[in-house]
Chain A
């Protein structure tokens, strides 16, 4: 009997939500469906709370305004997520702790977001949760519960949610050329945490696989001509890296031992990861010194001049690395010259041999 009533309530609620969504577009607290309003008669109370088994107090207050403005405000009603609750729902504190409630309740998201949910199962966060770390994040920790916003529109907010646990990394990021642009200017072109680490299938960044894949992440934006031209950044950074010794090593690691793969130099080794600074702002001399220090990490005894072995992402030209440019130019002319000469000589020989008989 109870169940049928809940279903009925749901039906009404959904219909109401649909109508509200169609008519109003953006919902306000006034236009919440009746069933939601019904729940809010109790849950709009800031004092409403529950004492759990571990004696901690969990607030049961729902900010109606926040919910109405959330992405689900015009789509869902309370019982869509809180399925076990109807108007006569128990108030017993059945959960051992607040965290236990959260980690149980988030499972409700998969009813609609099943593909996303399964991806989280392959993430490092789920690994940790499974391993018994209660603090490992679940859906609601990053997205919120009643106040969920469209994460594509609020990228800075998503990154801030990472900062809840990864404080130090976030502080570094917020000072970087990418973080500053996002946090201070609201720039939507720069990467937020999830753009490099992915959203749900987040992998352990210390692994060899992540390391070797990292240039692909950078190239996604830094190889994008229209995007980079907005900021006057050359897209040859990718090609010049890939054409160089280290880039070749990175792309030929298949079959190599894991220990060998771990020493491959990628973008982050010179530029940093979370603390990337603009080389233009750093200045030429500072970049040179930084490069020398970076080279010396692996190349023991590298002189301060050693970084000149690397063309700093420039294509060889008469201005940058003229020697390299001229050697290349010489062979571009010399090889065809020699080859054409030899082929002609061979053809003449064959011609005489066949005609002279």
Chain B
């Protein structure tokens, strides 16, 4: 049985999910490359990057284009996710429940040695849900503040203009937070953790090895194959 499981795969991600992940890598990369030099304009590295891109005006338009695409992706994601759940075609597997908070505590207990085993996780564990919701709320903040900075004149006609510098601070700080979460949390969870090192490939291939699924998402495994 074991030997079969290590060579058998289960479909984990749809094409749409894999496409979104690839698009985010590209867009997040462009946004960081064109945005970070604007956050630290006095660093020589920033000047170097901006110069190679063809100047600050080109860099800003690249940033806006990537921002528009990112916002479009966010809207499409939310629309498809909500429609899927409403029509009962997909499970709301990313929704937070009380179990996730319990899992977090139980998992920490396991880490420090108060429990023998980690709690059994479902399709997505609380660490993955944290990153997902962080990305959703982060993207909403980035898109909202980004469009304020994109259309400051329009905004000042309907709302207090002080929102513009506030949006600038927010855009810059939230970007920093997003970058740090990807750097620390995503790197640790998807690359550096001993279970997946050097890289968890399922978001690219769309499939997961059966034994890995059983180990990391036992409740989902039970749902798919029945309790053993």
State yes or no: do A and B come from one complex.
yes
Chain A interface residues toward B at CB < 8 A: 242, 244-245, 248-249, 251-257, 260, 299-303, 305-311, 316, 321, 323-324, 327-328, 331, 334-335, 338-339, 342-343, 345-346, 348-349, 351-353, 355
Tell me if B166 and A252 are in contact (CB < 8 A).
Answer: no
B169 touches A301 (CB 8 A): no
User: How far apart sit A328 and B184, CA to CA, in the bound complex (Å)?
Assistant: 22
Given A245-B168, A306-B161: A252 in contact with B173 (beta carbons within 8 A): no
Contact B165 A324 (CB under 8 A): yes
Q: 1/0 contact trace for B40-68 toward A, CB 8 Å?
A: 01100011001111111111000000000
Top 9 A-B pairs ranked by shortest CB distance? A256-B55, A255-B51, A331-B173, A308-B161, A309-B164, A348-B111, A252-B56, A309-B161, A255-B55
Partner of A252, one of B46, B112, B162: B46
Judge whether B153 and A299 touch: CB under 8 Å. Answer: yes
**Complex Cα gap A353–B194 (Å):** 7
- A295: nearest chain-B partner, CB-CB: B153
| Cα–Cα distance between A117 and B176 once the two chains are bound (Å) | 53
Further pairs besides A305-B160, A305-B161, A339-B180: 14, Cβ < 8 Å = A255-B51, A255-B56, A257-B55, A299-B153, A305-B156, A308-B156, A309-B152, A311-B165, A316-B169, A328-B169, A335-B173, A335-B180, A342-B185, A346-B185
Nearest CB of B to A255, in Å: 3
CA distance A324 to B153 in the complex (A): 18
Q: Which residues of B contact A303 (CB under 8 A)?
A: 153, 156-157, 161
B177 contacts across to A, CB distance below 8 A? 331, 334-335, 338
A349 partner residues in chain B, CB cutoff 8 A: 111, 188, 193
Interface centre among A254, A260, A331, A342 (most CB of B within 10 A): A342
Provide the residues of chain B in CB contact with A301, threshold 8 Å.
153, 157
B24 on the A face (CB < 8 A): no
Residue of B nearest to A301 (CB): B153
- Give chain A nearest CB distance to B173 CB in angstroms: 4
Closest to B149 in A: A245
In the complex, the answer to whether A251 meets B194 with C-beta atoms within 8 Å is: no
> Which residues from 108 to 155 on chain B have a C-beta closer than 8 Å to any C-beta of chain A?
108, 110-113, 127, 152-153
CB of A324 within 8 A of CB of B162, answer yes
Q: Does B163 contact A (CB under 8 A)?
A: yes
Task: For chain B, give the interface size range.
Answer: 35 or more
Contact indicator B51/A321 (Cβ below 8 Å): no
Q: Tell me if B's interface is mostly helix, strand, loop or mixed.
A: helix
Pairwise interchain contact B51-A346, C-beta atoms closer than 8 A: no
Chain A hits for B52, CB < 8 A? 255
Give, as a whole number of angstroms, the nearest-CB distance from A190 to chain B: 29
A233 nearest CB across to chain B (Å): 22
B216 interfacial by beta-carbon distance below 8 Å? no
Chain A to chain B contacts (Cβ below 8 Å), 15 pairs: A252-B50, A252-B59, A256-B57, A303-B157, A303-B161, A305-B156, A316-B169, A324-B169, A328-B173, A335-B173, A338-B180, A342-B185, A345-B108, A346-B184, A352-B112
Q: Closest residue to A299 on the B side, CB-wise?
A: B153
- Assuming the contacts A255-B53, A327-B170, A328-B173, asked whether A248 and B38 have C-beta atoms less than 8 A apart, the reply is yes
| Residue B200, interface by CB 8 Å | no
Q: Which residues of B contact A308 (CB under 8 A)?
A: 156, 160-162
A249 to B56 alpha-carbon distance, docked (Å):
7
Residues of B within 8 A of A257 (CB): 55, 57
CB-defined contacts of A252 to chain B, threshold 8 Å: 37-38, 41, 46-47, 50, 55-56, 59
Nearest residue (CB) in B for A346 is: B188
Residue B81, interface by CB 8 Å = no
Tell whether B174 is near chain A: CB-to-CB under 8 Å: yes
Residues of B within 8 A of A309 (CB): 152, 156, 161-162, 164-165
Q: Would B41 and A248 count as touching, CB distance under 8 A?
A: yes
Cα distance A48–B169 when bound, in Å?
74
Closest to A328 in B: B169
Q: List residues of chain B with CB within 8 A of the CB of A254.
A: 47, 50-51, 55
The answer, yes or no, to whether B203 is at the interface (CB within 8 Å) is no
- Name the distance in Å between B18's Cβ and chain A's nearest Cβ: 25
Task: Name which residue of chain B comes closest to A253, CB basis.
Answer: B56
Whole-angstrom CA separation of A339 from B41 in the bound complex: 24
CB distance from B212 to the nearest CB of A (A): 15
Output the least CB separation between B178 and chain A (Å).
10
Residues of chain A within 8 A (CB-CB) of B188 are: 342, 346, 349
Contacts of A255 in B (CB 8 A): 50-56
Identify the closest chain B residue to A335 (Cβ): B177
Smallest CB separation, B98 vs chain A (Å): 20
1/0 contact string of B71-110 vs chain A (CB within 8 Å): 0000000000000000000000000000000000000101
- Taking a contact as CB atoms under 8 Å apart, the answer to whether A251 and B181 are in contact is no
